[in-house]
Copies of this chain bind each other. A is one copy, B any other.
Amino acid sequence: MDTLTLIKVGGKIVEDPAALSSLLDDFCSLPGRKLLVHGGGRSATALATRLGIETRMIGGRRVTDEEMLRVVTMVYGGLVNKNIVAQLQARGANALGLTGADMGVMRSRKRPVTAEGVDYGYVGDVERVDAGLLAGLIGRGVVPVMAPLTHDGSGHLLNTNADTIAGETAKALAPHFDVTLVFCFEKAGVLRDEADEESVIPHIDAESFAHLREEGIVSGGMIPKLENAFAALREGVRRVVITRASAIANAGAGTIVEL
Q: Which residues of A contact B (CB under 8 A)?
A: 47, 50-51, 70, 73-79, 81-83, 85-87, 89-90, 94-99, 101-104, 133, 136-137, 140, 142, 149, 151, 153-157
Q: Report yes or no: B74 in contact with A79, Cβ–Cβ below 8 A.
A: yes
Q: How many copies does the complex hold?
A: 2
> A90 near B133 (CB under 8 angstroms)?
no
- Assembly CA distance A58 to B83 (angstroms): 26
Residue on B with the closest CB to A50? B51
Taking a contact as CB atoms under 8 Å apart, the answer to whether B102 and A95 are in contact is yes
A-B residue pairs in contact (CB < 8 Å), sample of 20: A70-B79, A73-B78, A73-B83, A75-B78, A77-B79, A77-B97, A78-B82, A82-B99, A82-B149, A85-B101, A86-B101, A86-B155, A90-B151, A90-B155, A95-B101, A96-B98, A97-B101, A97-B102, A133-B142, A136-B140
CA–CA, A102 and B77, complex, Å: 13
| Chain B nearest CB, measured from A43 CB (Å) | 10
- Cα A85 to Cα B47 with chains together (Å): 23
Assess whether A101 is in contact with B73, with CB atoms less than 8 Å apart: no
Residues of chain B within 8 A of A140, CB atoms compared: 133, 136
> Distance (Å) between the CB of A31 and the closest chain B CB?
21
Residues of B within 8 A of A149 (CB): 82
> What residues of B have a CB within 8 angstroms of the CB of A82 in the complex?
73, 77-78, 99, 101-102, 149, 157
- Distance between Cα atoms of A86 and B81 in the complex (Å): 17
| B103 touching A94, Cβ below 8 Å | yes
Residues of B within 8 A of A75 (CB): 74, 78
How long is the Cα–Cα vector from A90 to B151 in the complex, in angstroms?
9
Distance of A231 from chain B, by nearest CB (Å): 27
- Residues of B contacting A85 with CB < 8 Å? 99, 101-102, 151
Contact partners of A81 in chain B: CB under 8 A: 77-78
Pairwise interchain contact A73-B79, C-beta atoms closer than 8 A: yes
Q: Given A78-B74, A83-B73: A103 and B142 within 8 A (CB)?
A: yes
Residue of B nearest to A132 (CB): B140
Complex: chain B residue closest to A105, CB-CB: B96
Most buried by B among A74, A79, A136: A74
A138 to chain B, nearest CB (A): 12
Chain B residue contacts of A70, Cβ below 8 A: 79
Closest A-B pairs by Cβ, 4 of them = A78-B78, A74-B74, A90-B155, A77-B78
Greatest chain B CB density within 10 A among A81, A86, A157 is at: A86
